[in-house]
Amino acid sequence: MDDEQVPPPHASAAQPADTQPAGRGVLVGVCSWTDPTLLRSGWYPAPAQTAEARLRYYATQFGLVEVDSTYYVLPSEQAVAGWIERTPDGFVFNVKAYAPLTQHTLNVRTLPPVLRDDLPSRIRSQPRLYARDTPLWLTRTLWQHFRTAVRPLHEVGKLGAILLQFPPWFRISRANRDYLAQIRKWLPDYRLAVEFRHVSWLQERSRQQTLDHLADHDMSYVCVDEPQGFRSSVPPIVAATNPALGMVRLHGRNRAAWAAPGQHGADQSKYRYSPAELHEWLPKVRELAAATAETHVLFNNCFADNGVSNAGEFARLLGVGVPHRPAPRPLPGLEPPEEE
C-alpha cells in the first residue's frame, strides 16, 4: 500500500460546541441505525420512510453511529457518499471492519464481482473460506479496498475509528499479536479500536501485555459491557491505550443468548439496561474521558428501540446534549425517490 500524505485522523469528533458542557469530549450513539427491529419499533417518525430520511433523523438525535453493514460487505463508493451528504458537519461514523479482515469466515459471495471473478477457481468455488485458508495476497487486497472505500469519510473529518472486532477463536498468541501489528501497517492513517472476544487477552497474567501492545501500535482498547462467565466474555475493565480515543461498547446482559449455539446477534441484543445499570458506567466513562481527548460510547443492544432509548438516557445522565441540527441537502443524484 502507498503511504501518501493524508489529513490527520478525525479532528472534529468531540461533541459539537453547542452540545458539550459536562460530557465534554464524549459522544454517545448506537451500533446500527438500520436494524429491522428498530425500523419496526416506531422510534423513527412516520415521514422517515427512506434510508436517507432515517439517517438524517438519526443525526438530529445523536452525533455518533457505528456502521455495522460493513462487517458483512465491503462498503461501496455510493453508500459512503450518501453517509457524508446526509449528516451534518461534526457527525462521526465508526466503521466496523469487514468480517474476514478480523479473521472471521469469509463468505465468498459477499465479495465484489471485480474481486470474486479474479479468484482462482478452487477458491471461488468455495462458499466460505476460513482465515487459515485465506491467501495473504487476498487479505492484503481486501484491506486495500476497505481502506480506499472509507477514505472519503476520513478526508471530510467524519471517520471516527475502524472497529476491529475479533472472533472468540482469536486467542492471545504471538501470531495474533503480529497480526494486530500488521493491521496498523495496512491502515497507517486511521484510528483503530480493538475489541476482543476471548478472555485470554485480558486475564491477569496477560492483561498488561495486551494493553501495552495496543498502546505501542496506537490502537484503542474497546471497553465492553457484556454477560460474564463465558470464554467469549471480556471483563468490564476501563483502559486508555490511545490518548486520542477511548471507546466503550455495551452489548446488553442477556446471558441466555450470549453463548448459546446458533443464537443470532438479534437475540443477544434483546436487553434494555436499567437506570441503575447505566449509572454503573458513569464513573467508568468519566475516567476514560479524563484520560483521552475523545470518548465514544456505543450501545449494541439494538433490538427494537433498546439501544436508542438507552443511548439517549445515558447521554442525559452524562450531560451530553443531542445535536438537533438538520443535515445538508443531498447532492444531485442522491435524492430519495419521489413518493407517488
The three-class DSSP label of residue 149 is: helix
| 191, 243 contact by CB (below 8 A) | no
- CB atoms < 10 A from the CB of 269, how many? 25
Q: What are the structural domain ranges in the chain?
A: 17-318
Domain 17-318: state its class.
alpha beta
Q: In angstroms, how far is CA 122 from the centroid of its own chain?
A: 33
Q: How far is CA 261 from CA 68, 74, 107, 181, 268, in A?
A: 22, 27, 20, 31, 12
What lies within 8 Å, CB to CB, of 111 at 6+ separation is: 74, 119
3-state secondary structure of 101: helix
> How does pLDDT run along the chain (340 residues), one tens digit per residue?
443 333 334 333 333 333 333 446 999 999 999 999 999 999 999 999 999 999 999 999 999 999 999 999 999 999 999 999 999 999 999 999 999 999 999 999 899 888 888 888 888 888 888 998 888 889 999 999 999 999 999 999 999 999 999 999 999 999 999 999 999 999 999 999 999 999 999 999 999 999 999 999 999 999 999 999 888 899 999 999 999 999 999 999 998 888 765 555 667 789 999 999 999 999 999 999 999 999 999 999 999 999 999 999 999 999 987 665 555 554 334 344 433 2
CB of 247 closer than 8 Å to CB of 296: yes
